[in-house]
Amino acid sequence: MNRKYSFIVILVALFLISGHFASATDGYFSNGQGTKNKGFAGAGIAYLHSPFSAAINPAALGFLNKKMSFEISVGLFNPNRKYTIIGAPTPLENWPYQGRQMMLGLNEGTVESGTPIFVVPAVAFSYKLGEKNTVGLNFFGNGGMNTDYDAKTYYSEIIQSFGDPMPNGFPNPMTHVSKPTGVNISQMFLALTYARQLGENHSLGISPVLAYQTFEAKGLEAFRDMGSAGMPGMPVDRSAYVTNNGVSSSTGFGFKIGYQGELFQGFRLGAAFQPKIKMSKFDDYKGLFAEEGGFDIPANWTAGISYDLSSDMTVMFDVKQIMYSGVKSISNPMIASQMMPMIPNPEMTSPQDAYIPNPDFVPLGSDNGAGFGWEDMMIFKLGAEFRQVENWQFRFGYSYGKQPIPETEVMFNILAPAVNESHISLGFTRAIGEHDINFAVTHALSKTVTGTNPFDPAQQIELNMNQWEFDLGFTF
């Protein structure tokens, strides 16, 4: 086995055994695919730049000139995420119903997530079948989200002070809260592409896509025990499937279709669409995610243009939409009043009848159970490539998309603070004979979202994140 194939095998093995995948993100979707594309901050739906183009637009492969091409990319991703709790928890004497209503005031202060560095490998391959047909393979991470807080995040010392069991006889939901707190979700795609050139200037492409994702949650015992439905007259109890169940996996199959064409000299149009990918359920977390562990991959589309201002300069502009609202586990809001199986009894006559079943109770894991409350994202991307220096290409990119987390949804999104909106990228390629060395750096500017703790309105929750990503790639 020659060196090129050996390196690819090693890279794929690294991809399979690594426990974490993430990259500069639009929500939790990757900001781009392949080193060259990341130098444009993900722009380039209408521009052929490498075999990785098929991961963005399957039709792009129709314009590749080389008989066969390999590209590998390895990135180092550094997300810096933290949350801050502002304001002390509401004192016991100020609770409604003379202290008999459950609240969840969090510990004041700032907590930063651990696990600051991730390795992000990817592989792409293309092969021409005659003059008009091209096939390709892309193996890459779609994105991901990770938090790892060395704290009992969802914990109330006030509730813990009631003892276990509490005076009303119910188990205390704070007793088993553990640390660390966090989640890890990663998604990997294997896309096989076929592109057909139509005439000289147009191409259509399709990519069947095999998707694989993993998920793990830790430290969410408060939601498990506070929302336990194992009581007379309550719905099925899924509390054993909320947290600390190790790594769970999920698979699914979908496709992406695309078009790319040159409408007139130097002006190209591109578009691609990927319908929602139906994934198998995270069975070990069917008490956390809506639809009993459902976590499908949202539908998304991209359209854009590129234009050669000269033989040495190309500019491009893309619009991308990710439809997070189509996946309940991502888009369902958190409504505090629906998360308590029991509520205070205003006609209480003794401690034994202090609580009655909540008629509005919606348990975690049900179809309408609480999710992250994310909204759809519309992202705008601008890129430029400069080729004035022989054997060199220089790239610039900027993208902006309003982050998907409303101020009302900060509580659950401590776990997934995907609040970044602006990305700035720089990159270059150095040609060495028939091979290329590629480099890109991306910075997601710091962004903060602040909202009220829905379980204790006296508190504010701040979510903050910034990101760096450095990518090195090779084209053979």
Quote the pLDDT of residue 229.
Answer: 47
DSSP string across 249-279? EEEEEEEEEEEEEEEETTEEEEEEEEPPBPB
Closest CA to 272 of 62, 454, 91, 438: 62
Quote the pLDDT of residue 115.
Answer: 82
Quote the pLDDT of residue 6.
Answer: 52
CA distances from 13 to 121, 122, 129, 215, 251 (A): 10, 11, 28, 20, 19
- Report CA Rg, the chain: 25
| pLDDT values of the chain reduced to their tens digit, one per residue, 476 residues | 455 555 455 545 555 544 455 556 899 999 999 999 999 999 999 998 889 999 999 999 999 888 999 999 999 999 999 999 999 998 877 765 444 456 789 999 999 999 889 998 999 999 999 899 999 999 998 777 899 999 999 999 988 888 888 766 677 889 999 999 999 999 999 999 999 999 999 999 999 999 999 999 999 999 988 765 444 444 556 788 999 999 999 999 999 999 999 999 999 999 999 999 999 999 999 999 999 999 999 999 999 999 999 999 999 999 999 999 999 999 999 998 888 877 777 777 766 676 778 888 899 999 999 999 999 999 999 999 999 999 999 999 999 999 999 999 999 999 999 999 999 999 999 999 989 999 999 999 999 999 999 999 999 999 999 999 999 999 98
Domains of the chain from N-terminus onward? 3-266+402-475 (2.40.160.60)
The pLDDT tens digits of the residues spanning 272-288 come to 999 999 999 999 999 99
Name the DSSP class of 298. P
Closest CA to 423 of 16, 24, 11: 24
Bridge partners for 463 per DSSP: 83, 449
Alpha helices per DSSP H over 18-121:
35-39, 53-56, 96-99
Four-residue CA torsion sign, 113, 115, 116, 121 = negative
3-state secondary structure of 318: strand
Quote the pLDDT of residue 259.
Answer: 98
Bridge partners for 435 per DSSP: 432
CA distances from 318 to 56, 269, 429 (A): 11, 10, 22
The pLDDT tens digits of the residues spanning 413-446 come to 999 999 999 999 999 999 999 899 999 999 999 9
CA distances from 423 to 23, 94, 383, 426 (A): 12, 44, 11, 10
Whole-model pTM?
0.92
Quote the pLDDT of residue 98.
Answer: 42
Burial tier of 380 (Cβ tally within 10 Å: 0-12, 13-18, 19+): middle
Bridge partners for 209 per DSSP: 191, 254
3-state secondary structure of 293: helix
Tokens, residue 167? 């005076």
Closest CA to 201 of 388, 324, 382, 46: 46
Question: Angle at Cα 51 formed by Cα 77 and Cα 313, nearest 5°?
Answer: 85
Please give the Cα distance from 196 to 61 (Å, whole number): 8
Burial tier of 347 (Cβ tally within 10 Å: 0-12, 13-18, 19+): exposed
Is 205 within 8 Å of 196 (Cβ atoms)? yes
Contacts of 132 (CB under 8 A, 6+ apart): 62, 196, 197
Bridge partners for 453 per DSSP: none
3-state secondary structure of 324: helix
Is 226 within 8 Å of 175 (Cβ atoms)? no
CA distances from 6 to 10, 392, 398 (A): 6, 28, 35
Which uninterrupted H or E stretch holds 138? strand 133-146
Q: Indicate left, alpha or beta for 5 from its phi (over 0: left) and psi (-120 to 50: alpha).
A: alpha
Strands 68-86 and 118-129: antiparallel
Tokens, residue 185? 């979700």
Quote the pLDDT of residue 356.
Answer: 77
3-state secondary structure of 98: helix
Tokens, residue 298? 């949202």
